C-alpha cells in the first residue's frame, strides 16, 4: 500500500509542471459489490487503469497499471496485482536482485519432488 501511494505521488509530482493538461478519459464503474473498474488519462501522457474484484480472504483484489512521462522523454510504466499475496508490481524501473545460486534451484526441485511423493515434515 505504501509503495502504491509513493508511486502515485511520484506520478503526481511528474505531472505538476503541466498545468494545462486536459482530461481525455475519466471512466468509472463501481457495482457496489467489490467489483469495479476505472480508467483515467490526461493529455500530458498520464494514464492509469484498475480493476477490482472481491478476494477469497475478504480483501479487495486489484489489477492495474499506470504510466507517465519522465523528464528524459521516456515513459515510466508499472503494472501490478494486489491480492491475498500482497502488492506485486512489475516494471523495468524496479530494481531486481541478483539471481539465486544454482543450488537453490536444485533444492526447489527436490522440495517439489517430495511434495509430489506426499512427503511432509512435522512442524514441531
pLDDT of residue 20: 86
Question: Would you list the domain boundaries of the chain?
Answer: 2-95
pLDDT of residue 107: 93
Claim: this prediction has a pTM higher than 0.85: no
Only one residue has cell 504510466, namely 67
Give pLDDT tens digits for 44-93: 999 999 999 998 878 889 999 999 999 999 999 999 999 988 899 999 99
Three-class HEC string of the chain: CHHHHHHHHHHHHHHCCCCCCCEEEEEEEECCCCCEEEEEEECCCCEEEEEEEECCCCCEEEEEEEEEECCCCCEEEEEEEEECCEEEEECCCCCCCCCCCHHHHHHHHHHHHHHHCCCCCCCC
Give pLDDT tens digits for 21-57: 899 999 999 988 889 999 999 999 999 999 999 988 7
Amino acid at each position: 500500500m505504501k509503495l502504491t501511494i509513493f508511486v502515485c505521488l511520484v506520478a503526481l509530482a511528474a505531472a505538476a509542471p503541466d498545468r494545462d493538461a486536459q482530461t481525455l478519459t475519466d471512466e468509472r464503474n463501481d457495482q457496489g459489490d467489490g467489483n469495479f473498474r476505472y480508467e483515467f488519462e490526461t493529455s500530458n501522457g498520464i494514464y492509469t487503469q484498475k480493476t477490482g474484484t472481491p478476494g477469497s480472504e475478504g480483501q479487495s483484489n486489484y489489477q492495474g497499471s499506470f504510466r507517465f512521462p519522465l523528464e528524459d522523454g521516456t515513459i515510466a510504466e508499472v503494472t501490478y496485482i494486489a491480492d491475498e499475496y500482497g502488492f506485486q508490481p512489475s516494471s523495468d524501473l524496479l530494481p531486481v536482485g541478483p539471481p539465486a545460486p544454482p543450488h537453490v534451484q536444485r533444492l526447489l526441485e527436490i522440495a517439489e519432488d517430495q511434495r509430489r511423493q506426499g512427503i511432509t515434515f512435522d512442524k514441531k
